[in-house]
């Protein structure tokens, strides 16, 4: 078929260990992103809190 | 086409990348020193910062350093593959594709700058963005392969972290922050060239014009001595402004004397004359190059001790002022 890759460019099938390692890697990246989102959320809350405190002092 | 793009290892022949490979992509050892000096700048700055915001700022610096490391590793994959010290890194070994490393680096850089802007303000965020650009583009892409002065000018990238920490805490960049910048800026040449003296074969094989490769070992030893004098003198400057107290002064004077002694031994030696060590490990050296290895090792310890002294004085109250008061 014209769209097929040549045999020497076909992706190698992953072993079960490699599939596990890839899942672990994806999980770690996802956890990293979630942690980052939580930190940004908390920093935003902190900033808003600071601003509210400043308005209260006016 | 860049030399980097020409390096395309067969990724089907190597194991898939793990989470550890992505951590390695961010050069964790370099990141540790960057975070440490940024934290020192933040603690030494004359301003109180909420611990959570300080933590967010340090995290942003760590992410930024990791992003710069990933971009550097992606671009330098072709030359890293020729050096024993670097050929097992994730990109040259093929475990992570260069395009993935670029993507990872760009995203991490954007996130780090955004976090810094949100947590502290635009000055620290702007300095962080500039330092990433300076390391990834000015040093890695423009200077490293073109001039023996690559690490002298490029050293500015590594000198930014304490300034970023200072700016995060105060919103300004004062004289003391500039002194901290100058200390790391002047530390970089003797530190990098000491390593290059006993690893010049690696750099020559990769075509990187480090000073020992381009100008020879004797000129490198002479310039190491000159920069060591400038660096040790600059390390004493915090005593004049009051940034450093008795603890810092003791570390700076005693450690500086040892630094100069080691630099003098390198200057008087024939280190680097017969090419680099045959072994692959970072600390494997020929007998004649050991003085260069000693200077390299002490340079890391001395810089860490200087900034640890600042943290001890400003963060833990161990301040006995010598001049203007800490």
User: pLDDT tens digits for B222-243?
Assistant: 999 999 999 999 999 999 999 9
**Residue A4 domain-assigned?**
no
Which residues of chain B make contact with A22, given a CB cutoff of 8 A? Answer: 16-17
Q: What is the pLDDT of residue B13?
A: 60
Is A40's Cβ below 8 Å from some Cβ in B?
yes
Q: What is the pLDDT of residue A50?
A: 85
Sequence spans of domains, chain B: 13-173, 174-326
Torsion angle of the four alpha carbons B192, B196, B197, B199, in this order, in degrees rounded to the nearest 10: 140
Q: What is the pLDDT of residue B10?
A: 59
State the alpha helices, DSSP H only, in B171-243. 175-198, 200-206, 211-214, 217-235, 237-241
Quote ipTM for the complex.
0.74
Number of domains observed in the structure of chain A: 1
Q: How far is C-alpha B287 from the chain's CA centre?
A: 27
Record: contact B50-A46, CB cut-off 8 A: yes
**Residue A48 domain-assigned?**
yes
Restricting to B residues 67-126, those with a Cβ less than 8 Å away from any Cβ of A are 111, 114-115, 118-119
**Residue A11 domain-assigned?**
no
Record: contact A18-B16, CB cut-off 8 A: yes
CA angle B79, B84, B90 (to 5 degrees): 65
Q: Which domain holds residue A56?
A: 27-58
What is the least distance, in Å, from the CA of B79 to any CA of chain A?
25
Residue by residue, pLDDT tens for chain B (326 residues) are 344 445 666 555 667 788 889 999 999 999 999 999 999 999 999 998 999 999 999 999 999 999 999 999 999 999 999 988 889 999 999 999 999 999 999 999 999 999 999 999 999 999 999 999 999 999 999 999 999 999 999 999 999 999 999 999 999 999 999 999 999 999 999 999 999 998 888 888 888 899 999 999 999 999 999 999 999 999 999 999 999 999 999 999 999 999 999 999 999 998 888 644 554 455 556 667 899 999 999 999 999 999 999 999 999 877 776 655 44
User: pLDDT tens digits for B162-194?
Assistant: 999 999 999 999 999 999 999 999 999 999 999
The dotted CATH code for B13-173 is: 1.10.357.140
**Residue A57 domain-assigned?**
yes
How many residues does the structure list for chain A?
58
Record: contact A25-B12, CB cut-off 8 A: no
Tokens 């996130």 map to which residue? B111
Tokens 């340079």 map to which residue? B299
């Amino acid at each position: 078929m014209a769209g097929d890759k040549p045999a020497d460019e076909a992706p190698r099938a992953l072993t079960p260990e490699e599939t596990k390692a890839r899942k672990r890697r994806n999980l770690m990246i996802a956890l990293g992103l979630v942690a980052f989102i939580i930190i940004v959320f908390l920093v935003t809350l902190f900033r808003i809190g600071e601003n509210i405190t400043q308005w209260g002092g006016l | 086409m860049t030399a980097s793009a020409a390096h395309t290892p067969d990724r089907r022949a190597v194991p898939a990348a793990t989470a550890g490979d992505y951590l390695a992509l961010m050069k964790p050892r370099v990141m540790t020193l960057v975070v440490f000096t940024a934290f020192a700048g933040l603690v030494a700055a004359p301003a109180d910062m909420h611990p959570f915001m300080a933590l967010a700022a340090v995290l942003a610096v760590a992410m930024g350093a990791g992003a710069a490391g990933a971009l550097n590793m992606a671009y330098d994959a072709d030359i890293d593959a020729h050096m024993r010290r670097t050929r097992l890194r994730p990109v040259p070994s093929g475990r992570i594709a260069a395009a993935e490393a670029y993507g990872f680096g760009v995203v991490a850089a954007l996130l780090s700058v955004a976090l810094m802007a949100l947590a502290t303000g635009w000055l620290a965020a702007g300095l962080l963005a500039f330092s990433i650009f300076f390391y990834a583009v000015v040093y890695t892409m423009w200077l490293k392969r073109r001039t023996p002065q690559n690490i002298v000018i490029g050293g500015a990238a590594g000198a930014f972290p304490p300034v970023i920490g200072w700016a995060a805490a105060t919103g300004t960049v004062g004289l003391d922050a500039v002194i901290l910048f100058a200390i790391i800026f002047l530390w970089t040449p003797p530190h990098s060239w000491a390593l290059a003296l006993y690893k010049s074969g690696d750099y020559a094989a990769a075509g990187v014009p480090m000073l020992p490769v381009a100008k020879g070992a004797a000129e490198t030893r002479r310039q190491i001595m000159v920069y060591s004098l400038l660096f040790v003198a600059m390390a004493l400057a915090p005593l004049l402004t009051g940034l450093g107290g008795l603890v810092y002064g003791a570390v700076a004077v005693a450690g500086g004397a040892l630094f100069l002694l080691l630099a003098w031994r390198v200057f008087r030696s024939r280190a680097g004359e017969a090419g680099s060590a045959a072994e692959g490990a970072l600390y494997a050296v020929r007998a004649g190059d050991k003085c260069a290895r000693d200077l390299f090792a002490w340079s890391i310890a001395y810089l860490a001790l200087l900034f640890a002294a600042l943290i001890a004085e400003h963060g833990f109250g161990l301040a006995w002022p010598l001049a203007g008061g800490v």
